[in-house]
């Protein structure tokens, strides 16, 4: 059995339509885009559960519209706020916290789980969905960075299927689909990167950048954490690790190329030198709809791509000096699974501190490199060990900031 098949559903049983859908992180950027797809194709889905973090108002609005029988929020305070905002005559069952999210991911009546919580908090619910044999649309890349080995094993055991929502991995998935299981025919996966708002900038400029500048992504509208990850290129680093887990390749066979227009979403290279690219307007509704409706293709409210209007598509190598996060991610994945967990935890703590304007932009890679230098590998073969290491590294990095 060739490795990328585990994330490739050709031979898998997929649920019929309408699909019973759970969206974890429905109030975020991905969640909102997913609900646009659902609103356009209501006959294809039954919305069974919507889960948000702290944004009670947006979740209440979404639930009032889609009327799921279940919802989840971060804690009891948000739950009370949420319940007070619901219309008369509608009372979903409201779960809370990590256990609540995991319970929704494994609900017996749920068939399709969109994993779109941000950060390591997405790991446990994604694993719960994998263990329960669900069809999973995976946006939360951090869950594979933390525990790709555990999630893949759970999918193999339960028959769960992961469809990659992340635009690059979705592009690769589409490129790989027609090509059977012969993974020796694949020579390389090439992820495109926009280069973020600081492409072409040097160290002196980067030492002065602000939160607002880092959040102003040129092509994609996204949540705050992934926007900063795109500015440091850590997003591409996490995506290289995500691709290695999804498609079972070593990091030496996954490359990144900067493509400022974000029209080519990634490429698969075969041994004969052919490269298959996926092109489209940069809007997450496209890969979300592809995953939620797979193997069907449906219409989405996205302007079709007009290549003549785009004009030039350009490509350049990433700058390894200005953007060390790409190298740090590669080195961490090569060093082993506990290094990848340390990388992710350090990044989340540093990005949160940057967003709170407690540290500068260049302190982000510095904090990650220091955490990796300190890291002594430990056994992370269980979810408990993964979460324990995540907690420990966060505490260390926070103390060192």
Cβ proximity of 174 and 290 under 8 Å = yes
Cβ proximity of 237 and 384 under 8 Å = no
Q: For residues 94 and 121, which CB has a smaller minimum distance to ligand NAD in the complex? A: 121
CB of 200 to Mg ion, least distance (A): 20
Contacts of 348 (CB under 8 A, 6+ apart): 119, 120, 142, 225, 394
Q: Exposed/middle/buried for 309, CB within 10 Å: 0-12, 13-18, 19+?
A: exposed
Binding residue for ligand NAD, selected from 55, 62, 230, 347, defined by CB under 6 A: 55
Q: For residues 166 and 283, which CB has a smaller minimum distance to Mg ion in the complex? A: 166
Stretch that binds Mg ion, among 85-93, 160-168, 211-219, 318-326 (CB under 5 A): 160-168
Closest CA to 387 of 125, 116, 30, 50: 125
CB of 359 to ligand NAD, least distance (A): 20
Q: How many residues does the chain have?
A: 401
CB of 370 to ligand NAD, least distance (A): 23
Binding residue for ligand NAD, selected from 111, 166, 348, 390, defined by CB under 6 A: 166
CB of 141 to Mg ion, least distance (A): 7
Instruction: Based on the shown chain and the rule CB under 5 A, indicate whether residue 283 belongs to the binding site for Mg ion.
Output: no
Handedness of CA 80, 81, 82, 86 (dihedral sign): positive
Closest CA to 293 of 171, 67, 137: 137
Stretch that binds ligand NAD, among 6-14, 48-56, 305-313, 360-368 (CB under 6 A): 48-56
CB of 216 to Mg ion, least distance (A): 17
Binding residue for ligand NAD, selected from 172, 191, 226, 246, defined by CB under 6 A: 226
CB of 380 to Mg ion, least distance (A): 25
Instruction: Based on the shown chain and the rule CB under 6 A, indicate whether residue 27 belongs to the binding site for ligand NAD.
Output: yes
Q: For residues 166 and 348, which CB has a smaller minimum distance to Mg ion in the complex? A: 166
The angle subtended at Cα 93 by Cα 89 and Cα 99, nearest 5°, is 160
CB of 370 to Mg ion, least distance (A): 26
Instruction: Based on the shown chain and the rule CB under 5 A, indicate whether residue 166 belongs to the binding site for Mg ion.
Output: yes
* Distance, CA of 111 to CA of 105 (rounded, Å): 9
Any idea what DSSP says for residue 236?
Answer: H
What is the CB-side half-sphere exposure of residue 109 using CA atoms within 13 A? 10
* Distance, CA of 365 to CA of 68 (rounded, Å): 41
Binding residue for ligand NAD, selected from 21, 56, 94, 121, defined by CB under 6 A: 121
Binding-residue pattern over the window 63 to 82 for ligand NAD, x denoting contact by CB under 6 A: -----------x--------
Q: For residues 153 and 224, which CB has a smaller minimum distance to ligand NAD in the complex? A: 224
Binding residue for ligand NAD, selected from 112, 117, 155, 393, defined by CB under 6 A: 117
Cβ proximity of 83 and 142 under 8 Å = no
Cβ proximity of 190 and 177 under 8 Å = no
Residues that bind ligand NAD (CB under 6 A): 25-31, 52-53, 55, 74, 101, 116-118, 121-122, 139-142, 166, 220, 222-226, 284
Residues that bind Mg ion (CB under 5 A): 166-168
């Amino acid at each position: 059995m060739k490795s990328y098949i585990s994330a490739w559903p050709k031979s898998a049983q997929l649920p019929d339509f309408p699909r019973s859908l759970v969206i974890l992180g429905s109030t975020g950027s991905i969640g909102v885009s997913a609900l646009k797809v659902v609103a356009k194709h209501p006959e294809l889905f039954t919305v069974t559960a919507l889960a948000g973090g702290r944004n009670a108002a947006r979740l209440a609005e979404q639930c009032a519209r889609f009327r799921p029988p279940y919802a989840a929020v971060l804690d009891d305070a948000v739950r009370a706020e949420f319940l007070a905002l619901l219309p008369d005559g509608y009372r979903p069952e409201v779960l809370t916290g990590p256990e609540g999210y995991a319970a929704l991911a494994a609900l017996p009546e749920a068939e399709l789980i969109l994993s779109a919580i941000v950060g390591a908090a997405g790991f446990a619910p994604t694993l719960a969905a994998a263990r329960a044999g669900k069809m999973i649309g995976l946006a939360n890349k951090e869950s594979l960075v933390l525990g790709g080995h555990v999630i893949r094993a759970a999918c193999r055991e339960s028959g769960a299927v992961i469809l990659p929502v992340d635009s690059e991995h979705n592009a690769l998935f589409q490129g790989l689909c027609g090509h059977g299981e012969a993974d020796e025919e694949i020579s390389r996966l090439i992820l495109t990167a926009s280069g973020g708002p600081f492409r072409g900038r040097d160290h002196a400029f980067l030492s002065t950048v602000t939160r607002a500048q880092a959040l102003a992504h040129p092509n994609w509208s996204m949540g705050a954490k992934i926007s900063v990850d795109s500015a440091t290129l850590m997003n591409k680093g996490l995506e290289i690790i995500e691709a290695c887990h999804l498609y079972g390749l070593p990091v030496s066979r996954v490359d990144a190329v900067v493509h400022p227009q974000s029209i080519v979403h990634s490429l698969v290279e075969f041994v004969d030198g052919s490269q298959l690219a996926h092109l489209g307007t940069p809007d997450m509704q496209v890969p979300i709809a592809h995953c939620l409706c797979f193997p069907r293709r449906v219409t989405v409210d996205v302007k079709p791509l007009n290549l003549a209007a785009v004009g030039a598509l350009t490509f350049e190598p990433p700058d390894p000096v200005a953007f060390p996060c790409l190298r740090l991610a590669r080195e961490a994945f090569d060093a082993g699974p506990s290094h990848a967990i340390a990388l992710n935890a350090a990044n989340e703590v540093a990005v949160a501190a940057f967003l709170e304007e407690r540290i500068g932009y260049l302190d982000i890679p510095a904090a990650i490199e220091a955490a990796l230098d300190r890291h002594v590998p430990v056994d992370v073969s269980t979810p408990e060990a993964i979460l324990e290491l995540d907690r420990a590294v966060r505490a260390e990095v926070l103390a060192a900031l």
